[in-house]
Amino acid sequence: MSINLTLLLVMGVLYAVGLYLLLERSLTRVLLGLMLLANATNILLLATGGYAGLAPIFNKDIPSSAYNDPLPQAFILTSIVISFAVTAFMLSLIYRSWLLSRADHIQVDQEDIRVAMQDLYDDEEDSEIAIEVSDFHENNQPLGKRETIPGIVPKRVIDAKAVATSKKDVHPESPVLKTPEVQSPTGEKE
């Protein structure tokens, strides 16, 4: 399979001119550059399809090598739809820019230049670094049963029976809970 040299030359010229126009400050030229890049991409996809062949309709008498590959054509159709949407969006941006400033050129933003000239990082720290707590002494020996690191409250051993009989955090249907005493509107306990 060989590729048509004319298509490659046209594609290269379209990519070069489209990229040049895309880097201009005029929004209309940027739009034209995007359109040329989209058309160059369509030609690239067309060139990957190879030579023209028969329509990809199955027939027992025709060998599969005679058919044209439908995938590049589907890609081209998708590319056309996407480039149309991008073109419509750019046209709306150009129209809005024309209504607001009566100009088609992108202005130089001084704030962008100032931000670009700054360092990539700040010298000051944004947050404090957490102090690590170790379960080992400085000599890499594990702490004893009751030893703790200074400043840290030791964990308490929790008794299972004490937890089960406490009223705090117990499910309402648990038999551990007693029924609360209700007061009548006159202040007497019922």
Using CA atoms in the order 79, 85, 91, 96, what is the torsion angle rounded to 10 degrees?
Answer: -150
Q: Has this prediction a pTM greater than 0.75?
A: no
Mean pLDDT per 10-residue section of the chain, whose length is 190 residues: 81 97 92 96 87 71 76 91 96 91 83 82 59 62 56 50 55 52 59
**pLDDT given for residue 166 in this prediction:** 57
CATH number at residue 94: 1.10.287.3510
Q: Give the other-Cβ count within 10 Å of 178's Cβ.
A: 7
**pLDDT given for residue 157 in this prediction:** 47
Give a yes or no: residue 90 inside a domain. Answer: yes
**pLDDT given for residue 151 in this prediction:** 52
Give a yes or no: residue 75 inside a domain. Answer: yes
Give a yes or no: residue 179 inside a domain. Answer: no
Give a yes or no: residue 186 inside a domain. Answer: no
Residue 158, phi then psi, degrees to nearest 5: -95, 130
Q: Which domain holds residue 73?
A: 5-52+69-107
Instruction: Compute CA 124 distance to the chain's CA centroid, rounded to the nearest angstrom.
Output: 29
**Residue 40 and residue 14: Cα distance in Å, rounded?**
5
Exposed, middle or buried, 11 (CB in 10 Å: 0-12/13-18/19+)? buried
Closest to 155 (Cα-Cα) out of 125, 139, 135, 170: 135
Give a yes or no: residue 154 inside a domain. Answer: no
Give a yes or no: residue 97 inside a domain. Answer: yes
Give a yes or no: residue 94 inside a domain. Answer: yes
Give a yes or no: residue 18 inside a domain. Answer: yes
Structural domain count of the chain:
1
